[in-house]
Structure 1
Amino acid sequence: MKIIQTLHSDFENDTVVTIGTFDGVHIGHQKIIERLVTSAKNNGLKSAILTFFPHPRMVLQKDTKIKMLNTIDEKAKIMEALGLDYLVIKKFTTEFSRITAKDFVSDVLVKHLHAKKVIIGYDHHFGRNRTANIDDLRKFGEKQGFKVEEISAQDINDVSVSSTKIRTALLEGDIKTANSYLGYNYMLNGTVVRGKGLGKNIGFPTANLHIEETYKLIPSEGVYVVKAEISKHIYYGMMNIGINPTVSADNKQSIEINFFNLNESLYGSELQIDMLDRIRNEQKFDSVDALKAQLNQDKLAALQYIKNHETH
């Protein structure tokens, strides 16, 4: 898959295009992308997704609180695995939002993306003030040589319902439900940074994960079963998202992973943490010894989950 971040790139192939943020690239999105890829192959074309970053709401509504299920890199990785040929990431600006529907079609879809077919939702609106719809797009297509294929109300509704359920589940810590709608394990990608060493002092050394992208949705505080690929090996562990109230007083949220059977230093490593299940809420204990006892129970619960659900 080729990632294109400027529409002035030389596009070599005619394409089948769909447009959207595709946040989460969940099972509803995957159905649309598979349809896109199949259509392109059947017609001797290349498949392309046109997406926008930052999210339009971040730009037009200054909505800095909006949280996304995927970073751009995560989204690209999932889409590549689905067989997509081109991921076109258009920087969304106020200026771009003012482009007319006619110019969007002629300059973006036809001139730069070489669209021969556009697969789009029945309720899609585009152009300045989002005044143009799918009927307008069909008229443009007749004049400029591309077909328009409609994504049904049912499929669009499935996408919307899935996205809502995933967000709700993650904010409640219900990883199982979120993963069932995603079609893959919810992931956190970040860099291992130095922490306070509190875990090591009580026999549970942790890798502290720093996530650069502040727009990434972090699930509810609590203890989770996780896994990661490190040096081409899969390691399991338990992760705490929270403020460590028993041993820390700064109320600053951290993401810490205690990997089982791993002794190497991970400082500076880039890790993808796959979240598998939730063990419990974060809680404050009366003593460090009580915390250690609970961590041992958490480890047993995690190991039992791994034994029951993960194949080796």
Structure 2
Amino acid sequence: MDKKVVATIGSFDGVHLGHQALFAQMKAYASSFPEAELLAITFDPYPADVLQRGGEPEHILPTTERDQLLREQGLGIHLLHFTPELAGKSAQAFMEEVLHRELGVTDLILGYDNRFGHGAQLGLTDYQELGTPLGITVLQAEPLIRERETFSSTLIKGLIRSGSMQRVTEILSRPFCLFGSVVEGLHLGRKLGYPTANVALSDPRQIYPPHGVYAATLSLRGEAGFGERLEAMLYIGQRPTIGGGLERTIEVHILDFSADIYGREVRVEVLAQLHPEHKFASTDALREALQRYEADTRSYFAEHPR
């Protein structure tokens, strides 16, 4: 028997429980074939960035972090550079040129709502008919539905926008994270007794939760990946007390920490919103609020040991 290449295709933004259920079905299917290769075919940039339908796209994950999570799922990755030309390719041409000739796919497991090819109007039966002469068996995975919700990237983005971080954590199977590097700020936090790491996102289109104060952790990237999760107080907002109208900032005050981390790549886990953004009458009132916020952050970690 020729080697089996069992593949799936998609953007996989978030690599959430719905995606993980698809991968589990792939693995179960492939277990019947010795030495089958498991392959996730995905895109960089995300297709929505190129197609630009319905406004500015938002991402749950930068593509580099998505790819790392796919590898952790035990999948090989084939990365396609998404272009208008690729978007215009018909499903038949894509299956012949990419799946069959280039990758040698023998079995294609589609997500429950997955469509590919120009216009994305085909259904499972159409893909099966296209795959048969190429020797590609096309199957469709079952969706993951809990409490009448179908898990999807769209659902998760809506929950992030609403600040429902606990629910986001459940559906992702891990906390939602912001990724970036520490850059020079205005040093206002230091003047108030709360020095912060200002984080510039590595993906400017990464989605973020509502403005406010959050319990969070910060991890520094090292040679072996991200390290210890340091307990922190996170602020996302426009600093209305000092004038407002500023660009959104992401500032992290790490508890009981004083090292210089300028220029370091970081991962910030957003765990729970503690307070919405608020404009204070003075910097003294802001300083007092920061003291309360720190106490609330410490209480959060005391009640939610890691």
Using structure 1 for the length normalisation, give the TM-score.
Answer: 0.88
1:119-130 maps to which residues of 2 (within 5 A)?
119-130=109-120
Helix, strand or coil at the partner of 2:26:
helix
Matched, 1:233 2:228: yes
CA contact (8 A) 2:214 2:270 kept: yes
CA contact (8 A) 1:236 1:259 kept: yes
Deviations 1:118-145 (A, max 9, x none): 1013554332322433212212332222
Letter in 2 for 1:24: G
Inter-partner Cα distance in structure 2 for 1:39 and 1:152? 13
Matched, 1:15 2:10: no
- Cross-structure match for 2:154: 164
CA contact (8 A) 1:238 1:302 kept: yes
Deviations 1:187-243 (A, max 9, x none): 001010000000000100000000132221111111011112237433111010001
Letter in 1 for 2:208: I
CA contact (8 A) 1:58 1:64 kept: no
Shift, 1:56, TM fit: 2.6
- Cross-structure match for 2:57: 66
Matched, 1:77 2:68: yes
Inter-partner Cα distance in structure 2 for 1:163 and 1:128? 22
Say which of 81, 86, 90 aligns to 1:100.
Answer: 90
Aligned CA distance change for structure 1 residues 125 and 158 (closer, same or farther; 3 Å): farther
CA contact (8 A) 2:10 2:114 kept: no
1:163-242 maps to which residues of 2 (within 5 A)?
163-230=153-220, 232-242=227-237
CA contact (8 A) 1:121 1:156 kept: no
Counting matched residue pairs gives 298
Q: Which structure 2 segments of 5+ residues have no match?
A: none
Say which of 127, 136, 141 aligns to 2:126.
Answer: 136
Farther-moved stretch of structure 1 (190-199 vs 135-144) = 135-144
Letter in 1 for 2:68: K
Aligned CA distance change for structure 1 residues 187 and 158 (closer, same or farther; 3 Å): farther
Shift, 1:61, TM fit: 3.7
Helix, strand or coil at the partner of 2:181:
strand
Deviations 1:278-309 (A, max 9, x none): 10101111121211111111111111111111
- Cross-structure match for 1:9: none
Between the aligned residues of both structures, percent identity stands at: 28
Letter in 1 for 2:219: E
Shift, 1:249, TM fit: 4.0
CA contact (8 A) 1:245 1:283 kept: yes
Letter in 2 for 1:17: A
CA contact (8 A) 1:34 1:82 kept: no
- Cross-structure match for 1:291: 286
Inter-partner Cα distance in structure 2 for 1:270 and 1:38? 37
Letter in 1 for 2:268: I
Shift, 1:160, TM fit: 4.9
Deviations 1:85-109 (A, max 9, x none): x222211211112222222111111
Superposition CA RMSD, Å: 2.3
CA contact (8 A) 1:119 1:149 kept: yes
CA contact (8 A) 2:18 2:144 kept: no
CA contact (8 A) 1:189 1:272 kept: yes
Letter in 1 for 2:48: R
Helix, strand or coil at the partner of 2:287:
helix
Using structure 2 for the length normalisation, give the TM-score.
Answer: 0.89
Matched, 1:50 2:45: no
Inter-partner Cα distance in structure 1 for 2:74 and 2:26? 10
Inter-partner Cα distance in structure 1 for 2:283 and 2:40? 51
Shift, 1:154, TM fit: 6.2
Say which of 238, 242, 246 aligns to 1:251.
Answer: 246
